[in-house]
Each structure stands twice: as C-alpha cells, then as structure tokens.
Amino acid sequence: MGSFWYAFGKPSQDSYIWILPASKAYLKIIQCVIQEDVQIKAMERFNPQPKPVKEEKKKTYQLKRSPIKRKLKPKEKKAIDKESSQALVKKLDKYFSLFIRQKHSENGLVECYTCRKKMEINQIQCGHYHSRRFYSVRWEEMNCRPQCVSCNVFKHGNYPEFSKRLIEDHGRQYMDLLEVKKNRKVKLERTFLKVMIEHYKNLVK
C-alpha cells in the first residue's frame, strides 16, 4: 500500500473510504479526481483568491468609517469664539468712539482734550487716559476724551497733559476712582459685549 500512496499522493479522508474496495476502475477515477484537485490548488496558488477573513476585517473597518458627526476640537472651538469676540470688541470700539466724540462735540466741532485744537468729528479720535489694553476702562466714559491724531498716536496719548487737565476739570478723587476702575478684573463675555454694543448704538446719532 505504501507504494500506492507514493504513486497517487495521499487522498483526503473522504476519498479514503472509497479506495478501500479498490478495483482498477475506481483507482483510475480517484487518480483523475486527485490530479484535478492538485491542478486547482496550483491555480489557486498562482491566482490567490481574497481570503474571507480579510473581507470581515474590511467590513469592520467600513463600520468604523460610518458617518459620525465630527465634533470640533477644543482648540478649534476656542479659535472660533476668539474670532467672534474680537469682532465684537472692534464693533463696540467703533460705536463707543463715535459716542465719545459726539458727547464732547459742539456745533459739529470737537476740541482735542490735550492740545485744544478744534476739528471735525470724523477727523478726531477717541483717546484713552489709561490704555485700551485695560479692558476694565476701555469703554469707561470717565477714561476717554476726544484727541487729535498728533496727541493720541504720535504723542502716545499726551499723558502728562491728559492727567493735568483731568485733575483741573474733576479733581484728584476722579483720578483715584479711575485708578480703582482700571484695576478691576474683567472677564470679556460675549453677552456683555453685545449688550454694550446695543447700548452705544442707540446713543449715537
């Protein structure tokens, strides 16, 4: 029997049952079946079919890719908020500046608080005694007066003259109060900015 298996190759267990009563005709059929099987296997080796295991993996991959609404990362959220807050600050600056200039105007003309030069309302700026970087007094009427470009920009607010005139007009207490207001800690909330914008928008002509 050993030489028989050597000649035809060992068949699978199913075929083995049929071989037992081995007649010559049976052996021929089995030989053909085995050869065919070998050929198919050789072809498969040459043109490998995709394994079913891989397909399963692909399916789970597709499931993972199923549409899920992408949530914004905290950084992206912050960027959007920051952008809109900045836009609100800019808008509030615009209305507040116009309000200050109109408040101190007389017959369409405004006097520079620090050099007393008279100018038209759209040629003058809104000067801050304490810098605009202190948000606590950025939109504080006590802290702002109209100033020409020369005093506000080139003389950086003409601080000595500004201070001198504020004391002349309102006294030391006014300056102290302004100092207290400057040192307050403020949190720039968008709701606050929106309310302020509405307030000054209604006050300007």
Which residues are near Zn ion by CB under 5 A?
112, 115, 148, 151
Q: Whose Cβ is closer to Zn ion: residue 28's or residue 118's?
A: 118
Q: What is the nearest approach in angstroms of Zn ion to the Cβ of residue 168?
A: 16
CB 8 within 8 Å of CB 30: yes
Q: Whose Cβ is closer to Zn ion: residue 115's or residue 188's?
A: 115
Q: Whose Cβ is closer to Zn ion: residue 114's or residue 200's?
A: 114
110 strand-pairing partners: 105, 119
Q: What is the nearest approach in angstroms of Zn ion to the Cβ of residue 91?
A: 26
Q: What is the nearest approach in angstroms of Zn ion to the Cβ of residue 94?
A: 21
CB 144 within 8 Å of CB 128: yes
d(CA 81, CA 39): 69
Q: Whose Cβ is closer to Zn ion: residue 89's or residue 155's?
A: 155
CB 137 within 8 Å of CB 179: no
For the chain, what is the total number of helices (H) and then of strands (E)? 9, 5
Neighbouring C-beta atoms of residue 127, cutoff 10 Å: 24
Q: What is the nearest approach in angstroms of Zn ion to the Cβ of residue 111?
A: 9
